[in-house]
Amino acid sequence: MLRRSAVILVATLAAVAGAVSPASAGGPRHVRGTETIPVYDYGTAIRETVWVESPLDSDGDGARDRIAADIVRPREARTRVPVVMEASPYYACCGRGNESELKEYAADGTVSLMPLYYDNYFVPRGYAFVGVDLSGTARSTGCEDVGGPAEVASAKAVIDWLNGRGTAFDASGARVTASWTTGKVGMIGKSWDGSVANGVAATGVRGLETIVPIGAISSWYDYQRYNGILRTREYVRYLHSYVNGRPAEACADELAAMRAASGETTGDFTAHWAERDYRTAARNVRASVFIAHGVNDKNVSTGQFGLWWDALAKHGVERKLWLFQAGHEDPFDVRRAEWVRTLHRWFDHELHGLRNGIDREPRATLETAPGVWTDERDWPARGVRDRSLPLGDGTLGAGAKGRGVTKTFTDESLREDALVANPTAVVPGRVAFLSAPLTAPLRISGEPSVTLRIQVDKPTAALSARLVDYGTGTRVDHFRSEGVVNLATESCWGAATATDDACYLDTTEVTATADHAVLTRGWADAAHYRSLRFTTPLEPGRWYDVTVPLNTYDVTVPAGHVLGLVIGQSDPQFTVTNDQNATVTLDAGRSTLTLPATGAAVTAPTTPQSITTTTLPGAAERRATDNTPVVPLR
């Protein structure tokens, strides 16, 4: 929605981009030295829609799916231009960005408002922008299969067409080609949009030069299941229905097949999930990958980026990383000016081939405290090694005396606040283990896990684990609006037309001071201890080793703070399960926390401790999350 006059927009754009000056002699108009500059008129840009033919017929109507792609490109460009592309299921149903913008169309059917600022900012700089409606959404045919082959193929087909390998039609049915582009494509998007970018990159499609997944999914099983435990019931149906743009009957068969294949009653990792696990195809990735993720993202959990990052690193994929303290947010709403500058330089390097040096700069940019940023050579942090920390009689760390110590607890379905509060008190339904106060800062960077030696009186138990920082600090309050709130002011990040500007409300991080904070979480169904592909019912009286992976995290715990590990069972705030009321006996001496860390030694306390806590800020927001289906949207 237009909020500024064109005059103000031009002035703001000049302030952001710098004064426009002539391009280097002999080069494209939009290149000055090692950067692209805004020389093309956004107001007269060519706007067109094409329908690209997918190789699949996902709705079974006898015709290949047709994928709507809305294009904005510079009219005056005398050279071919690369493409910034966002493929999304949200353009018609739900909106994009902090202000939930939808696509809007002119009378001739061409897009008059493209959500977000990408087209406003990059088209004047010698890029085209393409907004793709994923299969079964908005104006595309086919069916939305929630991270599956049809969804990925629909976005990939557009890249193939941009590179002369596919077929597309205009509104009249005439074939159209993309002679105006170099074929080099950079995909970007937050959440579901970034997830499909991961999926397309995993196909190895030629022409996709880079992706920028923000708070994105790399395994849809890990998004809808937590190691055999359901996040919520009927999640496949819910997500499909949320974004479906077709009549219900058009995709009823596809939806029924997905529901049957997803292992709803078992939590198993089935073939349905295997084809939605992009990490296993990391070896195919040709594109560079620039990941951005909030370390306190409870919607798309941090393991989604952490395990994807590890897989890409294993195969030598060029990559870059931004981590920030908020939850499920876009860095545009966390560190706006620096994010736009970095994204601009990244696309200039990857799509225009400009040697601006960004590939030689530190690979990782991290927010280490509210508003405090640092660049590091790589990630995880330098010097990090996995430490095996033993458990004892309520103690954690080197020197813990756990031999012969057992802890028995019966499920109480505790909410997180109750689970981690007052860790030295006896609370039914949980066991807590505490380190001695740290003698120096401790950097945790990577994917922790806890291996528990247990007996269970039922065929299975739902297990939960929390790593907790017991110590007072001012932290980003990620339970309140994901840690970011809107201000009354706004700023503009590109050129405008009468119907499409690039002005957005400014934002700021919101903080809270508390005497403890949950750092990272993990869940597992004990009967999946052998494999996620099948269950093995537990026998009463028999000991089992069950590993509970915790989500990827990066934090420096200050000296003087106490590190805590809290184990519970069913978790109404984050999961749903019928496996409740089990009694678990834990052999502490044969249980360990694996912690990727550097810095202070984590030792067990030698004298009894007494730690009391106050209620964490954001209690109302925490209550509101109980068993609520989450859409990877905002």
Give the CATH number for residue 569. Answer: 2.60.120.260
The two tokens of residue 493 are 């990040």
Decide if 296 is inside a domain: no
pLDDT in tens, 177-216: 999 999 999 999 999 999 999 999 999 999 999 999 999 9
Residue 86 pLDDT greater than 80, yes or no: yes
Amino acid at residue number 575: T
Decide if 32 is inside a domain: no
pLDDT in tens, 287-322: 999 999 999 999 999 999 999 999 999 999 999 999
pLDDT in tens, 533-566: 999 999 999 999 999 999 999 999 999 999 999 9
Q: Of 328, 344, 352, 528, which is the active-site residue?
A: 328
Decide if 6 is inside a domain: no
Residue 14 pLDDT greater than 50, yes or no: no
**Using CA of residue 413, residue 418, residue 420, residue 426, what is the dihedral sign?**
negative
Amino acid at residue number 65: D
Per cent of the chain over pLDDT 90 is 92
Report the pLDDT value the prediction gives residue 132, as an integer from 0 to 100.
98
pLDDT in tens, 321-364: 999 999 999 999 999 999 999 999 999 999 999 999 999 999 99
Residues 427 and 118: their CA atoms lie apart, in Å, by: 51
Identify the H or E element spanning 416.
helix 416-420
* Catalytic residue status for 328: yes
Q: Which residues contact 194 (CB under 8 A, 6 or more apart)?
A: 188, 211, 212, 213, 214, 215, 216, 217
Based on the structure, what is the number of domains in the chain?
Answer: 1
pLDDT in tens, 106-162: 999 999 999 999 999 999 999 999 999 999 999 999 999 999 999 999 999 999 999
Calculate mean pLDDT across residues 390-404. 96
Decide if 527 is inside a domain: yes
Decide if 31 is inside a domain: no
Residue 623 pLDDT greater than 70, yes or no: no
160 to 3, 123, 163, 308, 337: CA distances (angstroms): 37, 21, 5, 24, 33
pTM over 0.75? The answer is yes
Rounded mean pLDDT of the chain?
93
pLDDT grade, residue 628 (50/70/90)?
Answer: low
Residues 539 and 519: their CA atoms lie apart, in Å, by: 33
Q: Of 191, 262, 301, 570, which is the active-site residue?
A: 191
Residue numbers of the domain that contains 520: 385-476+514-623
Residue 43 pLDDT greater than 80, yes or no: yes
Please state the φ and ψ torsions of residue 93, each to the nearest 5 degrees.
-90, -35
